[in-house]
Every structure is written in structure tokens, then in C-alpha cells.
């Protein structure tokens, strides 16, 4: 009898160790999460913020497995004092064409470990209806019922999304009016169970 109980106990331990854990979904807190942007040009730079419309991160056990978030392009703001002219231009068809593409999305397709609380995230970024793969490093940590994810210096090549205005890659004689092809994002997400 003791032998049977011991075998059943070992079998239960064995199966529980190899039974897939249920994935937990954490909802992005849009009020406490931020995306900061920087756009550089020959003569300086502009910076600002944009809001997340909604999103979620999926955890399986102790590791990030997936997620998605939507960016509300109508909330694009410059924080460098540039004014309405810059914002109107960024929202125009020359750049993000916000009237026709009010939401951009990022969908995580792969997460690989890069050390304790560090990962490389690969996903599909969609801007103006054009989807391109994007990979960047991030720090991700589960803290009880919360997940904090931070990615600094995420570089996005705008020309891959048909945003060519002021690009030296397409206009040779643009001189000091050139705008860098890449813009940079700093993403700070707080997601709650």
C-alpha cells in the first residue's frame, strides 16, 4: 500500500512538472504606460509622446510569450514646443496620414531570453496599413499581478512604411532639410492582471 501511494505521488509530481502552465493575460494600463518619440533631422530634433489605445501581454509561467498593443495616432503630441504646424504635418499624408490610419499596432511574434529580466522581442509593426517585422531588446519583469516592460531606443525605419518626406534615401538634393529615416521610441508599459 505504501509503495502504491509513493508511486502515485511520484506520478503526480512528474505530470505536474510537465503539464503546461496556463497562460496569464495582463491588460496594459493606458494611463500609466507611455511611448516617447524622437525624430531627428540635420538641423536638430523633435520629440514628444503618443498614447497607447489598448493592449495586453501574455505570460506563461515566468516568461513573456506574446502580446499586442494599439497606438492611437490621434494623440501624437510634440513636447519640445514646436507647435501646431509640426503636429499637423506629422499627421498629414506626408508622414502618418492619421485621418486614414488612426491606429498603429504592434503584435509580438517571438520572445527570446537575453538574461535575467531581459528579452529580445520580435513582432509585426503596422503603420499606415503597412506591416513590417521589428526586433528590439527590452527589460520585462513580472511583479505579482503586474508586468512592467521597458524598451529604450527602439529604432523604426519610417521609409519601410512609405513615409519618405525629407528622406535623403529618396531625395538627393535635399541638403540640410533632410530628416533621418529612422525615428526612435522609448516604450514603458505597465500591464495588470
Q: What CATH number has the domain spanning 21-192?
A: 2.40.128.110
pLDDT digits (tens, 9 = 90+) for 7-31: 544 445 454 445 556 789 999 999 9
- Residue 127 is predicted with a pLDDT of 98
Between 177 and 3, where is the model more confident?
177
Phi-psi category of 117—alpha, beta or left, where left has phi over 0 and alpha has psi -120 to 50? left
Mean pLDDT over the full length of the chain: 89
pLDDT digits (tens, 9 = 90+) for 147-169: 999 999 999 999 999 999 888 77
Q: What percent of the chain has pLDDT over 70?
A: 86
Instruction: State how far the Cα of 190 lies from the Cα of 40, in Å rounded to an integer.
Output: 28
pTM: 0.86
Q: Where are the domains of the chain?
A: 21-192
**Average pLDDT estimate for 62-90:** 94
CA angle 40, 124, 75 (to 5 degrees): 55
User: 182 has which bridge partners?
Assistant: 157
pLDDT at 90 over 70: yes
DSSP 8-class letter at 21: P
pLDDT at 67 over 50: yes
Instruction: State how far the Cα of 34 lies from the Cα of 36, in Å rounded to an integer.
Output: 6
Q: Of 6, 90, 20, 104, which Cα lies nearest the Cα of 55?
A: 104
- Residue 13 is predicted with a pLDDT of 47
The Cβ of residue 98 has, within 10 Å, a number of other Cβ atoms equal to: 21
pLDDT at 6 over 50: no
- Residue 83 is predicted with a pLDDT of 85
| Helix %, strand %, coil % of the chain (to 5) | 20, 55, 25
Cβ burial 158-171 (10 Å sphere, 16+ → b, else e): bebbebebbbeeee
- Residue 77 is predicted with a pLDDT of 95
CA 173, 77, 140, 160 torsion-angle sign: negative
CB-side neighbour CA atoms (13 Å) of 181: 11
- Residue 168 is predicted with a pLDDT of 79
The three three-digit cell numbers of residue 8, written as one number? 502515485
Amino acid at each position: 500500500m505504501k509503495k502504491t501511494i509513493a508511486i502515485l505521488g511520484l506520478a503526480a509530481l512528474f505530470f505536474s512538472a510537465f503539464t503546461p502552465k496556463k497562460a496569464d493575460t495582463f491588460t496594459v494600463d493606458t494611463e500609466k504606460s507611455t511611448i516617447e518619440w524622437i525624430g531627428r533631422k540635420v538641423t536638430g530634433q523633435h520629440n514628444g509622446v503618443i498614447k497607447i489605445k489598448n493592449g495586453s501581454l501574455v505570460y506563461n509561467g515566468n516568461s513573456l510569450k506574446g502580446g499586442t498593443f494599439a497606438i492611437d495616432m490621434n494623440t501624437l503630441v510634440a513636447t519640445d514646443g514646436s507647435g501646431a504646424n509640426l503636429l499637423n504635418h506629422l499627421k498629414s499624408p506626408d508622414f502618418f496620414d492619421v485621418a486614414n490610419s488612426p491606429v498603429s499596432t504592434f503584435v509580438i511574434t517571438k520572445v527570446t531570453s537575453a538574461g535575467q529580466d531581459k528579452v529580445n522581442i520580435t513582432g509585426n509593426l503596422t503603420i499606415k496599413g503597412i506591416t513590417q517585422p521589428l526586433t528590439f531588446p527590452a527589460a520585462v519583469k513580472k511583479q505579482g499581478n503586474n508586468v512592467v516592460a521597458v524598451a529604450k531606443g527602439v529604432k523604426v525605419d519610417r521609409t519601410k512604411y512609405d513615409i519618405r518626406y525629407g528622406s535623403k534615401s529618396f531625395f538627393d538634393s535635399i541638403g540640410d532639410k533632410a530628416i533621418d529615416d529612422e525615428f526612435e521610441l522609448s516604450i514603458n508599459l505597465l500591464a495588470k492582471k
